Each structure stands twice: as C-alpha cells, then as structure tokens.
Amino acid sequence: MIKKSNYNSAKSGQSKKPTRFGVNKKTSRLAPYGHNKTPDKDKLDAAIAGVSGQTGAVHSLTPINTSGYTSSRQNLRIIPMGGIEEVGENMTILEYGNDLIIVDMGLAFPDETMPGIDYIIPDTKWLQLNKHRIRGVIITHGHLDHIGAIPYIMPKIGDPPIYTMALTAGFIKKRMEEFGLLQRTKINVFKKDDTLALGNFKMRFFGLNHNIPDSIGLSIQTPVGQIMYATDWKFDHTPADGRPSEFQKIAQFASEGVLLLMSDSTNATKPGYCMSERELGQTINRLFSDLKGRIIFASFSTNISRVQQVFNSAAKFNKKVVVTGRSLVNNIEIALSLGYLKIQPKIIIKSEAAKKLPDNQVVILTTGSQGEEAAGLARIARNDHKSIKIKKGDTAIVSASPIPGNERAVASVLSNLTRLGAHVIYSKILDIHTSGHAHQEELKLMMALVKPKYFMPIHGEHHMIVTHAELAKSMGIPDPNIFVLDNGQILEVNSARQAKIVEDPKVTTGYVFIDGLGIGDVGEVVIRDRQVMAKDGMFVIIMTLDRRSGKLINQPDIISRGFIYMKGNDDLIREVKHEVRKICDSKTKEKLEPNWAYLRNVIRDDIGEFLYQRTERRPMILPVVIEI
Ligand SMILES: [Zn+2]
Ligand SMILES: [Zn+2]
C-alpha cells in the first residue's frame, strides 16, 4: 500500500507540481546522517521497542531492494494533511511501523471564492481507513486552526485519545460539549515536563510563546531520529503570561541531534522581531489613560494574552470591564478556572451596572475583530446589540490585523462604528496588534538553536513557506535538505536517515466544506454552482412538452433570479421564449423518440450563448422539462 521508493534513483522529483524548494536541482538527498548523533539513542530505542510491544505494533518487514533501502513501514512518513497551502486547517500525520499519530486538527475559514461555506477541514478518507493504527492526537494549542476540526473528525476516526496541555484541554472540552460529543472524548492532560510514548513515537515538550498560553512545541523521538515540531510560536522575553519560551530545553533537545525541524511560516515574510507583548501592554496602558470616553476593545476570543492585558490596563486605570460575546465569555471562564487569567475581583460587571458608571470607567471587551457578522463588534456597529449602543465619545480599539479575505468585512464594521459617532483605533493607525508568530530574526534564531539536518516549513500559504525555506538556506541548511511540500505529499525518511518527498495515491487530501450541519456534502460542484449564481445569477426555462411528439405545448416559462429584472426586460424575455421555441421545434421534428437530456443540453448551451451575446453575462441556466 505504500509506494516503494529508491533514494538512489534519479527520479527523485516525483512531486506533480513544481513546488518543492529548489526543484530544478536534482542533487541527491543522500547526505548521510553524520553530525546529528543521538547519544541516548539506544536507551530511546529500547523504550520505543517496549512501547511498541505494549501497543501490539506489528512491523511488517518488506523486502530490501538492491540499494539496501528498506521501503514502506520501516520508513518514517510525515504527512501534512493541511496547513501548508493555506493559513489554517493544520493537521499533520506521522507514521512509522504500524503506528500513526496526529498533530493538531484545525479548521480554516473560507475565502470569497467559497460562498456560503462556514469552515474548511482537511480530508480524512485515508485516516478513516487507517483508524485502527492511530495511537493518539496531540494538540499544540487552543486556536481554532489547531482544534477546530476535532468535533468533525474524531467521530469518523474512532475517537482516538487526545493529549494536550490544560488550557487547550479546557477549550476542546467546551467545544465537544457544544457538539454533544463530550462523553465520548478521551482527553489526557500533560505538563510541559512530562513525556509521552505512543507506539513508535516518544514525545517531550517545550514551551513556546504565542498569543495563547500553553502553546507547546514537540520533540518527537522516532526510530530514525528526533523531529522538532514548532507549532505557531514566537520568542517573547516579556510575554503577558510571564513565561518565555523554554530556550534551555530547545537547546538541550537540539544537542541530541535533530533530524528534522518543522516550523511556523506565518510571518516568514516579515523582517526583524515580533513586538513583545510588554510593549503592547504599554500601548494599551497609554490608550486607557488618555481616552476619556468608553472603550470598546475587540479581540480574538482565544487571544488570552490580549484579554489579560486589557484586564491589567483596566485595573491600573480604575476601569470596569463588560464582557460580551459567547465565545469570549466561555474562554474567559475556562482560563480563569484553570488559573491562566489573573484578574481583580469584581472587575467584570454587567452592562446594566456599567450604565451607572462614568464613561471613562467603562471598557467593553468584545469579539469580532475580524469583522465577523454575528460577533459582538459587528452587532454593536450595526446598532443591534441588545445592551450596548454606541454614543459620541466612545472609542473602538480593534486589536488584530485582518486574516486575508476579511479586510472588507473589517472595513465595513469600522465605517459603521464611525458613522455612529465612535472614534476608531485600528492596527494600521496604531500598532495595537502584536502578532503571535515569529518574524524572520526569530525564525533564524530557532534554526540556529536547533541545527536540524532537514527542514520543513509549515503553517502558511505557499509563498510564506517558500520564503521560510529561503531563510533556512541563508542559515546554511543545504538546499536539498529543505522540503517544501503540498498538502498530502509525504516526507519519507528511511533508516539510513535519508529523506525525500514521495506521494501515495491513497493519501487523499483536499478541502472538506462545512456548511451548516453538512460536513463534506458540499463539494466542488456545488461551490462552482454557487460561484456562477453569485456572479451572474440564475435563469430557469420551464418547457411543457408533449410526451409523444416532443412539441412545446405552452409558451416556455422563464424565471430569472439575480440575472436581470424581468419586468424591465420584456423584449429580451420575449426573444428568449422565441429562441426556445425555435430550438424545440428544430430538435423534435425528426420522428424519433424525444431525448429530454439532449434537449436540455442544447437549450442550456444555445440560450446561454444567446444571453451572453445580449448581456455579456453568464447566468446559470436551468432548463426544466415537464412532459404531459
Ligand atoms: Zn495559533
Ligand atoms: Zn495556527
């Protein structure tokens, strides 16, 4: 079932698209595993063997080919199922022997080419077929692009156990509860210094900064070497939660030799360093001290670091906080109950109580920094929030830069706020947003610390990943050791620690669309239909035909939606009816059995062309035949 590959063969470039970094270079990826010796390897191997024994893992030994290269199950396979061709839907599978582990299970938000779609999740057909081999799911942190797909995917893959840190576990539990799946979910909480053995994989963890506490990187010991997986991260020496990245652990794991580093590319195109959260805290302090009216502060509901800073600044300047937005209220409750958020007692008040306070003592903390229609900020901006109405003197602070695709929605929310009389402070005017993702200098520092043999940039659109690959090259990682993959491509490493990109036709990837209650029932065809209808509308032609002769009995009926307004286009409609009649007559005059499917096709094509000639629009044409 697994494609055999021979690393000595010249056809190393199997990838169908020319996306691999340095694809024109056919240099072999044969560099022997040299400087990266693992001192504790024997001990680890023993531990790993023991664990495999426990889980009953079967190592199928496939024949050795002439180059001495063992194929299939003796190779480590790393399969990114999502997150390397887009921002979001992060999910990576690691496979060795009979064991699979999954790292993260996220969702992505649709772009403007996907009308009506709520979320996108990775395709899991292959995983479903291999669910008996899944040893566990490791979740690196609580953002939706890492946990969002869990309720959709887990029931399909046999609900394998989840392993994660406490805050992330809290977020996952809440989400599973909302989906009615909490009972069947097995969530195991670990601490940063714990180790975890799942089949052939033995894991240790290192703390990373991000804009949510409990973001962890993974050191994964595999039979072929150590992998370091740096999920969304940045280095912040003065973060809001007071816990900087665990540099000494990263260095310690690195000293054992690192086969492969996988690292976040979200900000790979941004030079310099990410601003520290402490500086951002000072900016918020300055705003809170200067602004005289009420403050409406919008942030991501999962951005617990930012929420903490808002509470800090509010306390400092004697302000009370009204929290609005269900997800924000939930997440604050979870973070408070687990001790990840420290706030003054009674600082949170109800909106009714806020009305009795002077304006300069009120902060309204809300969701909707991405312009989401249903979120607090958009409702406030539309003036249909149940308890909060904008008044003159209010200042709205939007603390996030828009995810690509959300710019228009954000802009319209901001404009609505200013129309209602609020003053708006946005990241473009004042850098109120510090990203949760490392900039170039931090990315380089990580590479310098880890000194991996191989490098695979992850998390980002293709151009970000390629930029990250170029940075790696500038750091001295040889071109052939850098791997830029597409979703579903596989990085395979053999027992001689040689790596290459392969493809397995059985590993299917692609977007699974979530629309309302439907998971995956909206496919590309439906999306294409929606695109056509959204662009030029829809044109329905209803023809009542005689069953035997195929002749039109009545005038055809026309329904137009989103294409032209029929009342103002009598002439065009009359012409279309005439054309339809002509086509029907000409196609049914042969004394053959009427073929409705054929007739519908001709109508669709000919009327489509006719309408295009007249209007230069291409509505979706739906010919309907009623036979009597
Ligand atoms: Zn994140
Ligand atoms: Zn992420």
- Rounded to whole angstroms, what are the CA distances from 145 to 215, 305, 430? 13, 17, 27
Give domain status of residue 566, yes or no: yes
pLDDT digits (tens, 9 = 90+) for 254-277: 999 999 999 999 999 999 998 888
Ligand 1 ion: residues within 5 Å (CB): 143, 232
Is residue 1 very low, low, confident or very high in pLDDT (cuts 50, 70, 90)?
very low
The CA 116 to ligand 1 mean position distance, Å, reads: 25
Residue 40 has pLDDT above 90, yes or no: no
Residue ranges of the annotated binding site are: 116, 118, 141, 143, 145-146, 210, 232, 301-303, 433-437, 459, 515
Give domain status of residue 101, yes or no: yes
The CA 467 to ligand 2 mean position distance, Å, reads: 18
Q: Are residue 554 and residue 496 in the same domain, yes or no?
A: no
Q: Single out the residue in 376, 399, 426 at which a domain terminates.
A: 426
Residue 65 has pLDDT above 50, yes or no: no
Q: How far apart are CA 504 and CA 507, in angstroms?
A: 6
Mean pLDDT of all residues in 315-335: 95
Q: Which residues contact 547 (CB under 8 A, 6 or more apart)?
A: 594, 627, 628
The CA 141 to ligand 1 mean position distance, Å, reads: 7
Q: Single out the residue in 364, 394, 426 at which a domain terminates.
A: 426
Residue ranges of the annotated binding site for substrate are: 301-303, 433-437
- Ligand number, closest to the Cα atom of 210: 1
Give domain status of residue 34, yes or no: no
Give domain status of residue 178, yes or no: yes
Q: Are residue 411 and residue 500 in the same domain, yes or no?
A: no
Strand partners, 228: 219, 261
- Please say if 264 is a catalytic residue: yes
Give domain status of residue 68, yes or no: no
- Please say if 385 is a catalytic residue: no
- Ligand number, closest to the Cα atom of 209: 1
Q: How far apart are CA 140 and CA 379, in angstroms?
A: 32
Q: Which two tokens stand for residue 39?
A: 């001192």
Q: How many domains is the chain built from?
A: 3
Q: Are residue 170 and residue 249 in the same domain, yes or no?
A: yes
Is residue 33 very low, low, confident or very high in pLDDT (cuts 50, 70, 90)?
very low
Mean pLDDT of all residues in 517-536: 80
Residue 190 has pLDDT above 50, yes or no: yes
Q: Are residue 156 and residue 251 in the same domain, yes or no?
A: yes
Task: For residue 262, give the CATH number of its domain.
Answer: 3.60.15.10
Give domain status of residue 446, yes or no: yes
Q: Is the pTM of this model over 0.95?
A: no
**Length reported for the chain:** 628
The CA 377 to ligand 2 mean position distance, Å, reads: 23
pLDDT digits (tens, 9 = 90+) for 456-508: 999 999 999 999 999 999 999 999 999 999 999 999 999 999 999 999 988 98
The CA 461 to ligand 1 mean position distance, Å, reads: 15
- How far does the chain reach from its first CA to its final CA, in angstroms? 54
Q: Are residue 467 and residue 578 in the same domain, yes or no?
A: no
Give domain status of residue 200, yes or no: yes
Q: Are residue 333 and residue 450 in the same domain, yes or no?
A: no
The CA 597 to ligand 1 mean position distance, Å, reads: 51
Q: Are residue 181 and residue 92 in the same domain, yes or no?
A: yes
The CA 544 to ligand 1 mean position distance, Å, reads: 57
Relative orientation angle of helices 304-316 and 326-337, to the nearest 10 degrees: 80
Mean pLDDT of all residues in 9-27: 34
- Ligand number, closest to the Cα atom of 213: 1
Q: Are residue 301 and residue 409 in the same domain, yes or no?
A: yes
- Ligand number, closest to the Cα atom of 83: 2
pLDDT-wise least confident of 73-77, 146-150, 183-187, 338-342: 73-77
Residue ranges of the annotated binding site for Zn(2+) are: 141, 143, 145-146, 210, 232, 459
Q: Which domain holds residue 568?
A: 537-627
pLDDT at 240: 87
Q: Single out the residue in 475, 491, 519 at which a domain terminates.
A: 519
**Between the ranges 318-332, 536-550, 574-588, where is the mean pLDDT highest?**
318-332
Catalytic residue among 264, 394, 486, 536: 264
Q: Are residue 417 and residue 447 in the same domain, yes or no?
A: no
Q: Are residue 129 and residue 254 in the same domain, yes or no?
A: yes
Give domain status of residue 431, yes or no: no
Find, among 396, 401, 400, the residue nearest to 422 by Cα.
Answer: 396
- Ligand number, closest to the Cα atom of 104: 2
Q: Exposed (0-12), middle (13-18) or buried (19+): which is 505, by Cβ within 10 Å?
A: exposed
Find, among 143, 307, 319, the residue nearest to 240 by Cα.
Answer: 307
Catalytic residue among 385, 437, 439, 468: 437
Q: Are residue 114 and residue 138 in the same domain, yes or no?
A: yes
The 3-class SS string of 70-108 reads: ECHHHCEEEEEEECCCECCCCEEEEEECCEEEEECCCCE
Q: How far apart are CA 164 and CA 166, in angstroms?
A: 7
Query: Of all residues in the chain, what percent carry a pLDDT higher than 90?
Result: 61
Mean pLDDT of all residues in 129-145: 96
Task: For residue 319, give the CATH number of its domain.
Answer: 3.40.50.10710
Task: For residue 559, give the CATH number of its domain.
Answer: 3.10.20.580
The CA 73 to ligand 2 mean position distance, Å, reads: 30
Residue 571 has pLDDT above 60, yes or no: yes
Q: Are residue 259 and residue 281 in the same domain, yes or no?
A: no
